[in-house]
């Protein structure tokens, strides 16, 4: 057996958190008071942080290897594709692994502030969700995408309810029921695709879908539409996004911050399935969802911003901004060109970091406002008004897309990619207006939280601990770093977009040259526009 690290690199980001989670379950987690250093909790924290740190190191190595242009394929049990389970590491999947680890590590560090002690098995569940996320990003077939969806969702069900509470139970019940319905639709969609193609391997599907014609193509397209419903629900695409604000706002701060990456799993699946398999080379099923994807994405952006403007609490406002960010990313995906996809990947990374930071920041502010908590009503003065106010200003500026922050760079990239699209005016209007109203909403929230101080309410005496501040600051620092290193990041995201279009190279890497294709890959852009 080959024990070379690179040979096993695609599977290690799945195995490490899975093994650590199983270890914590075997060791037991009986809760305890964190103030007294309960041994079970201390041990769980050490194992959890070690596992996530190792996963981050593996993600960095994955990006380095993927940036060479080589696709790393891991065939579980040495079964040949498309019959066995194939895990594939390319530029996009490596980027998503890195983003997940960069969010997970500071969030888990933040949870050490006491949130992990509000119930049992927090760290094991956190690691199982990380396993599901990473598995969804590296899987090479639709059925295992379903499997990893279920792994991350089952973990998210319990994490969402962690710490209990009437509101969490009420919202959590809706969350579970809706996701179970979506999972059933997922299986139906997969069954329709498999019935007419005979495969679920993504590389094999990209070859077989163009060969399906006539009535069979109609069934395959029906499967594609069902999958869009499922992925759109996970991504919070209009009209399937109304569940998200209440769910995320009711969750504890570290859980909501980790959930910021969950919507991106739906976006990732849309890119892989509807952008590539049912993309321009899909024969009669080519671009099947394209007429509807762009208008729904624009509507999602509008809905998210309007929801943020009307949000009664800071947490719910951040949850609505999550919906708005998904709308912007899917607008770029719906343009179906290389520059737009590059912009989508760049903006996706920044929006995830900023939203995760805002959830943590919202908790820090709420903890210093007494009974008012996160409600957008006047209350007593917070203990750290200058520091928290400046951090909220920074996060708001990036979320709204003000220069020179990466939110601005990402939106400019999207606007440039849409400059020749028939819907240019509508796209520009929605994205620019969404940025303006995001800034208005966050400015309103900031003025209420930090300026409208009631004299009859006691002021907060204790500020946030340096440990909690460090976790939130690290996420904002990563966002700012995206501006400093914008050029190499843009080169990487552009290369990722180009690589996705090279279905021939993907098929040859996964299926082997004897089963792959030797034809030239399709390209979104005309020859004169290619770099």
462 vs 277 pLDDT, higher one = 277
Beta-bridged to residue 375, according to DSSP, are: 313
pTM for this structure? 0.90
The token pair at 6 is: 């690179």
Task: Please report the pLDDT score of residue 521 as a whole number.
Answer: 41
Residues with Cβ < 8 Å from 17, sequence gap 6 or more?
51, 52, 55, 127, 128, 130, 131, 134
More confident residue, 401 or 346: 346
Average pLDDT, the chain: 86
Among the ranges given (413-427, 460-474, 507-521), the one the predictor scored with the smallest mean pLDDT: 507-521
Rounded Cα–Cα distance for residues 309 and 316 (Å): 10
Q: What residue spans define the domains of the chain?
A: 1-282, 289-484
Region of residue 430 (phi > 0: left; psi between -120 and 50: alpha; otherwise: beta): alpha
Residue 457: what pLDDT? 60
Q: How far apart are CA 508 and CA 518, in angstroms?
A: 8
166-181 tens-digit pLDDT: 777 888 888 888 889 9
**Which of 306, 313, 326, 318 shows the shortest CA–CA distance to 256?**
318
Structure tokens at 455: 């004299």
The contacts found for 183-189 with CB under 8 angstroms, 24 or more apart, are 183/146, 183/149, 183/150, 183/153, 183/230, 185/226, 185/229, 185/230, 186/146, 186/149, 186/226, 186/227, 186/230, 187/146, 188/223, 188/226, 189/223, 189/224, 189/225, 189/226, 189/227, 189/229, 189/230
**Helix, strand, coil percent values for the chain (each to nearest 5):** 75, 5, 25
Residue 430 reports pLDDT greater than 60:
yes
SS3 (DSSP) at 75: strand
Who contacts 372 (Cβ-Cβ below 8 Å, separation ≥6)? 378, 379, 380, 457
Determine the pLDDT at residue 130. 94
List of residues 6+ apart from 518 with CB closer than 8 A:
504, 508
Give the pLDDT score at 528.
43
Distance CA 27, CA 37 (A): 17
Weakest-pLDDT range from 46-55, 91-100, 357-366, 510-519: 510-519
pLDDT of residue 529: 47
Mean pLDDT of 117-128: 85
């Amino acid at each position: 057996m080959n024990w070379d690290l690179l040979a096993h690199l695609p599977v290690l980001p799945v195995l490490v958190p899975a093994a650590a989670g199983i270890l914590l379950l075997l060791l037991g987690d009986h809760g305890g008071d964190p103030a007294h250093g309960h041994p079970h909790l201390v041990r769980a924290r050490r194992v959890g942080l070690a596992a996530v740190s190792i996963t981050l190191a593996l993600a960095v190595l994955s990006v380095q290897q993927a940036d060479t242009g080589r696709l790393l394929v891991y065939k579980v049990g040495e079964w040949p594709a498309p019959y066995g389970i194939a895990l594939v590491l390319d530029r996009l999947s490596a980027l998503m692994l890195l983003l997940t680890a960069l969010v997970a590590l500071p969030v888990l560090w933040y949870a050490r502030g006491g949130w992990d002690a509000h119930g049992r098995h927090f760290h094991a569940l956190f690691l199982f969700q990380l396993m599901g996320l990473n598995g969804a990003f590296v899987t090479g077939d639709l059925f295992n995408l379903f499997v990893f969806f279920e792994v991350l969702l089952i973990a998210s069900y319990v994490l969402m309810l962690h710490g209990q509470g009437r509101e969490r139970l009420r919202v959590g019940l809706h969350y579970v029921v809706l996701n179970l319905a979506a999972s059933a639709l997922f299986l139906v969609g997969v069954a329709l695709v498999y019935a007419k193609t005979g495969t679920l391997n993504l590389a094999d599907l990209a070859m077989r879908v163009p060969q399906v014609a006539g009535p069979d193509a109609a069934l395959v397209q029906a499967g594609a539409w069902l999958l869009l419903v499922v992925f759109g629900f996970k991504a919070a695409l209009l009209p399937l996004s109304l569940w998200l604000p209440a769910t995320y706002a009711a969750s504890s701060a570290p859980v909501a911050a980790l959930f910021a990456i969950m919507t991106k799993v739906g976006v990732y699946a849309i890119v892989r399935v509807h952008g590539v398999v049912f993309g321009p080379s899909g024969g009669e099923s080519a671009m099947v969802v394209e007429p509807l994807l762009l208008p729904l994405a624009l509507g999602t952006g509008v809905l998210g911003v309007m929801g943020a403007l009307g949000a009664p609490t800071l947490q719910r406002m951040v949850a609505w901004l999550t919906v708005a960010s998904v709308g912007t990313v899917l607008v770029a995906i719906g343009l179906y060109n290389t520059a737009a996809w590059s912009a989508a990947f760049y903006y996706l990374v920044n929006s995830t970091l900023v939203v995760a930071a805002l959830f943590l920041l919202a908790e820090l502010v709420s903890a210093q406002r007494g009974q008012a908590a996160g409600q957008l009503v006047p209350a007593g003065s917070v203990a750290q008004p200058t520091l928290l106010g400046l951090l909220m200003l920074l996060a708001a500026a990036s979320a709204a897309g003000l220069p020179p922050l990466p939110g601005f760079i990402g939106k400019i990239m999207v606007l440039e990619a849409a400059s020749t699209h028939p819907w240019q005016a509508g796209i520009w209007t929605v994205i620019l207006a969404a940025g303006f109203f995001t800034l208005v909403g966050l400015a309103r929230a900031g003025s209420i939280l930090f300026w409208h101080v009631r004299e009859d309410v006691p002021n907060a005496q204790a500020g946030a601990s340096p440990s909690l501040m460090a976790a939130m600051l690290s996420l904002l620092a990563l966002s700012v770093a995206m501006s400093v290193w914008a050029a190499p990041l843009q080169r990487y995201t552009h290369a990722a977009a180009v690589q996705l279009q090279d279905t021939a190279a993907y098929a040859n890497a996964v299926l082997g040259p004897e089963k792959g294709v030797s034809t030239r890959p399709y390209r979104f852009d005309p020859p004169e526009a290619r770099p």
